[in-house]
């Protein structure tokens, strides 16, 4: 049992080349982080067509954390070239299921998790949703569909500064550490943390990890 993340950058055709390069470098840095801190192999992630990515998470309970890290890593980036402000963002689908065909190349691998993730992303392309989950368990799907819709609502209202604070909180950094990195006071970090909705987001992460671990424990 694995999780597969499949994602497309939103409106990437409007990115100037330098900004797109910055976005791709940021994604690669996150793949490095997954390998170093979460024991998820960097080789399990791939960027293709220049504006899409796919990755395998061997511990499905960590899929939402990885998704949030990818999203906030991009949401803290903004291009202001030509007086046209563009914030980097993506549509991402999480699929949790079996891993039936394992190949060296992700694009050649197959299984239930790949189908769930890819088909869900296709369904999302014509709508406003940016993060969705699909598994074989209907109760899990129903519970987190509402939660992730609410997360979309919250995240769409982030500033790049708010996204940056959430990004570091997701890595387990304390307010004082974030203040030093960002160059603001600890009280300012705390305010951004509250404004960005960190408490419900951290609660959602905890619930996801517990529920996914319990539901799919026997299928690992």
Alpha-carbon distance of 131 to 92, in angstroms, equals 5
pLDDT at 86: 83
Contact 76, 160 (CB under 8 A): yes
* Structure confidence by residue, pLDDT tens digits, 149-173: 999 999 999 999 999 999 999 999 9
pLDDT at 50: 85
Percent of the chain scoring above 70 in pLDDT: 91
| φ and ψ of 157, to 5 deg | -105, 5
Q: What pTM value is reported for the model?
A: 0.93
Domains of the chain: which residue ranges?
2-219
pLDDT at 109: 60
* Structure confidence by residue, pLDDT tens digits, 44-61: 999 988 899 999 999 999
Q: Which fold has domain 2-219?
A: Alpha-Beta Plaits (3.30.70)
Band (108; pLDDT cuts 50, 70, 90): low
pLDDT at 9: 97
pLDDT at 129: 97
The per-residue pLDDT of the chain, averaged, comes to: 91
| φ and ψ of 88, to 5 deg | -70, 140
Alpha-carbon distance of 98 to 113, in angstroms, equals 6
């Amino acid at each position: 049992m694995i999780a597969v993340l499949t994602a497309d950058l939103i409106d990437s055709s409007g990115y100037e080349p330098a900004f797109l390069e910055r976005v791709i470098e940021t994604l690669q840095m996150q793949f490095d982080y997954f390998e170093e801190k979460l024991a998820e192999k960097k080789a399990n992630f791939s960027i293709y067509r220049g504006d899409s990515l796919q990755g395998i998470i061997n511990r499905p309970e960590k899929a939402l954390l990885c998704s949030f890290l990818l999203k906030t890593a991009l949401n803290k980036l903004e291009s202001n070239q030509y007086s046209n402000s563009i914030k980097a963002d993506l549509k991402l689908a999480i699929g949790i299921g079996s891993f039936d065909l394992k190949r060296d190349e992700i694009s050649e691998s197959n299984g239930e998790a790949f189908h769930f993730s890819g088909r869900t992303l296709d369904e999302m392309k014509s709508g406003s949703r940016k993060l969705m989950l699909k598994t074989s368990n209907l109760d899990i799907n129903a519970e987190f569909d509402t939660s992730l819709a609410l997360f979309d609502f919250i995240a769409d209202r982030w500033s790049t500064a708010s996204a940056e604070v959430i990004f570091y909180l997701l890595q387990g950094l304390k307010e004082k550490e974030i203040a030093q990195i960002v160059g603001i006071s600890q009280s300012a970090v705390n305010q951004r943390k509250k404004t960005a909705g960190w408490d419900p987001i951290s609660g959602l992460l905890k619930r996801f990890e517990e529920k996914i671990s319990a539901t799919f424990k026997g299928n690992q």
